[in-house]
Amino acid sequence: MKIAEASRRFDLSADTLRYYERVGLIPTVNRTASGIREYSEEDCRWIGFIKCMRAAGLPIEVLIEYVSLFQKGDETTEARKALLVGQRDLLEARMVDMQGTLGRLNQKIERYEQLVVPAENDLK
């Protein structure tokens, strides 16, 4: 699959896919004889994984570190696991925070409803 199709499939611009590869967010993609990127299914799994992690807010730097560990082979499994555990814990913490914000937002919205509904009743 060439870059245009990968771009459609993951809804990421071709520029972004090239950028991800350039900075090491996904492993190097193989090329055809004339230098065109040919995305394999494994490449696609990486893209999917990275897109998902980025959407949840994991920093690029950390993901680059993960890919780099991955490419160093089996001696790095412990380090990779530790990295994932760390990021999971951060993610959970952020979700707790967001839950709090959500509650606060809902309270504020309720207070607006108590203001707006009586105003609407006045019109009747």
State the residues that interact with a second copy by CB under 8 A: 49, 52-53, 55-57, 77-78, 80-81, 84-85, 87-88, 91-92, 94-95, 97-102, 104-106, 108-109, 112-113, 115-116
Counting Cα atoms < 13 Å in the Cβ hemisphere of 101 gives 6
The listed partner (a second copy, DNA, none) that binds 55, CB under 5 to 8 Å by sort, is a second copy
What tokens were used for 108? 């504020």
Q: Decide if residue 61 touches DNA (CB under 7 A).
A: yes
Query: Site residues for DNA, window 64-83 (CB under 7 A)?
Result: none
What is the b/e burial string over 81-118, where b = at least 16 CB atoms within 10 angstroms of the residue's CB? Answer: eebeeebeeeeeeeeeeeeeeeeeeeeeeeeeeeeeee
- Select the residue interacting with DNA from 42, 45, 48, 59 (CB under 7 A): 59
What is the rounded distance in angstroms from the CA atom of residue 21 to the CA atom of residue 59? 15
| Contact set with DNA (CB under 7 A) | 2-5, 12-16, 18-19, 31, 33-37, 54, 59-61
